[in-house]
């Protein structure tokens, strides 16, 4: 598909990119399920290395609050390095954990020429994948979840637009194509928020 943003070999190669730097900063990203057929997917990152993933069939507030708090303490992740999808239960978790909230249809960061923040982050993700700048540890996913992620990343496709803004095919179209919500790739995509978000700058006096 000419509209596919990620190079196929680069998608499959995510599990081979062992050269990606093992940084000291940890992040947690979470796509919180909104419907019975969706998964709640929580990922832990060390830099751009995905080192742990936990999935749940439903979004129970107390359970996910406990899980994310435990991962936060285990890896010493600051609240400002945790981001969760704000839809549904995710909004309550953002408030409880005092962390960053991801709003798909919010404006892109830094004035980017994208339809919304989600589109901006997916374009950034495609760029990082094609640069072979992301590494997923081999034991993070079961074989079934690995195949699902590959299938979901193949669905990152540009869509025609009536204005100059970059756009992706809709989530509804993706669901129609693969028969489910792209929950795993959405979790991965949210890691790009921290790559795009302006870094705090210290000043010397």
Q: Which residues contact 113 (CB under 8 A, 6 or more apart)?
A: 164, 165, 166
3-class SS of residue 121 = helix
Q: What is the pLDDT of residues 92-105, one digit of tens each?
A: 999 999 999 999 99
Residue 203 has pLDDT above 50, yes or no: no
Residues 39/156, Cβ–Cβ less than 8 Å: no
- Comparing 37-41, 51-55, 105-109, 119-123, which segment has the lowest mean pLDDT? 37-41
Neighbours of 10 (CB within 10 A): 19
Residue 97, both tokens: 């954990």
Cite the DSSP H helix spans in the chain: 8-12, 61-75, 89-97, 117-130, 143-153, 171-178, 183-190, 193-196
Q: What is the pLDDT of residues 155-191, one digit of tens each?
A: 999 998 888 899 999 999 999 999 999 999 999 999 9
Q: Which residues contact 58 (CB under 8 A, 6 or more apart)?
A: 33, 36, 40
Neighbours of 46 (CB within 10 A): 19
């Amino acid at each position: 598909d000419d509209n596919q943003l990620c190079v196929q070999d680069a998608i499959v190669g995510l599990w081979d990119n062992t050269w990606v730097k093992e940084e000291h900063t940890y992040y947690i990203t979470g796509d919180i399920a909104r419907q019975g057929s969706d998964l709640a997917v929580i990922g832990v990152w060390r830099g751009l290395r995905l080192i742990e993933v936990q999935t749940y069939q439903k979004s129970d507030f107390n359970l996910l609050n406990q899980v994310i708090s435990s991962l936060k303490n285990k890896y010493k992740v600051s609240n400002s390095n945790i981001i969760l999808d704000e839809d549904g239960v995710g909004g309550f978790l953002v408030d409880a954990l005092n962390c960053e909230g991801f709003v798909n249809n919010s404006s892109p960061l830094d004035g980017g020429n994208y339809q919304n923040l989600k589109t901006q982050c997916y374009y950034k993700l495609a760029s990082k994948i094609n640069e072979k700048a992301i590494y997923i540890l081999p034991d993070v996913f079961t074989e079934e979840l690995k195949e699902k992620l590959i299938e979901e990343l193949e669905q990152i496709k540009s869509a025609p637009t009536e204005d100059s803004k970059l756009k992706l095919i809709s989530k509804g179209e993706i669901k129609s194509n693969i028969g489910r919500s792209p929950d795993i790739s959405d979790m991965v995509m949210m890691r790009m928020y921290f790559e795009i978000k302006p870094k705090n700058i210290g000043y010397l006096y």
